[in-house]
Amino acid sequence: MKILLCASKTPDTTTKINFSADKKSLDNSGVQFILNPNDDHGLAGAMDLKEKHNGQLTVIHVGDNSVEPVLRRCLAIGADEATLVNANPTDAYYVAMQIAEAVKGENYDLVVCGRESIDFNGNEVADMLAESLGVPSVSYVASVEINGNTATLSRFIDGGMEKLTVNLPLVISVTKEFAEPRIANMRGIMQSRAKAIKTVEAAPVDALTTLISLEAPPKKSGAVMIDIAEAGKLIEILHEKEKVI
C-alpha cells in the first residue's frame, strides 16, 4: 500500500504574527514554523495504516528548503521518504497542481491531507488535488479502514456522522479525530538523518488568485471588571452601552 501525506508548514500557534512592509506576505523574522497541526493528525493516522498494511509512506511539501526541519520530523516519526517541490506557493490551486505534477505516475493508493491549514483555513487543496488526479475525494474524515481496494470511512456532516465506502485510489482530508499525533523517539530521529529529501523543481503552473493585502484583525477593547455584587451595573452596561439586551 502506497500512502502520500501532503504536509504544510504553519507558524507555531504561540507565534506573534507580523506582516511585511507592503502587507503582502508574512514577516518570517523570529517565526517558528511547525507541521500544520491538522497534517500532524494525518501523519499519525497514515503511520497507523502503513504499519497495519505493511505500506510505504511518502511526505510531500510545496515550498522552499526552510521546511527541512518539518520534513525531518515526519521522517523521524516513521515516513519512508520526503519530497520537496521547490516553489513559492501562492494559492491552494497552485499547491494542488504542483503536488499533482510531482506525483504523476506514482500510483498512490491513499493521499492524506489535514482538513485545512491553521493559517489560511482554506480547505481546498485536497479536493483540487483529487480532481486533478481523477480520483474520489472525501472531506472531514474521522476514521478509515482499508480492505483490499476499498476504504470504509466515517466523516463528519452537519448534525452527525456519515459512513461510506469508496474505492481506492482516494484523497481524504482528515480531522483531529483521525489519530493522535506521535512523538519521535531518539531512534527515529537518528534514522531520519540518513533519509534523503528529494527535491523537484516547480511545474509551470499559474496561480488563479492574487493576494492584495494582509492585515491583522482589529484589537479587542479592554475588559471591564464588575464586582459580583454589582449585577445591576452589568445589566445597565449590556443594555445602555452594548445594546445586547
For every residue of 122-134, DSSP letters joined together read: ---HHHHHHHHHT
**Residue 18 cell numbers, joined:** 507580523
- Tens-digit pLDDT profile for the chain (245 aa)? 999 999 999 998 888 888 888 888 888 888 888 999 999 999 999 999 999 999 999 999 999 998 999 999 999 999 999 999 999 888 999 999 999 999 999 999 999 999 998 888 888 999 999 999 999 999 999 999 999 999 999 999 999 999 999 999 999 999 999 999 999 999 999 999 889 899 999 999 988 888 888 888 888 777 777 777 777 787 888 888 777 77
Q: CA 38 → CA 4, 41, 111, 118, 168, distances in Å?
A: 15, 5, 14, 8, 22
Residue 52: predicted pLDDT:
96
**30 CB contacts (<8 Å, ≥6 apart)?**
none
Residue 183: predicted pLDDT:
93
| Alpha-carbon gap, residue 78 to 72, rounded angstroms | 10
Q: CA 188 → CA 80, 162, 183, 197, distances in Å?
A: 11, 36, 10, 15
Residue 230: predicted pLDDT:
76
Side-chain half-sphere exposure of 31, counting CA atoms within 13 A = 19
Phi, psi of 89 (to 5 degrees): -65, 130
| Alpha-carbon gap, residue 138 to 170, rounded angstroms | 8
Q: What is the CA radius of gyration of the chain?
A: 21
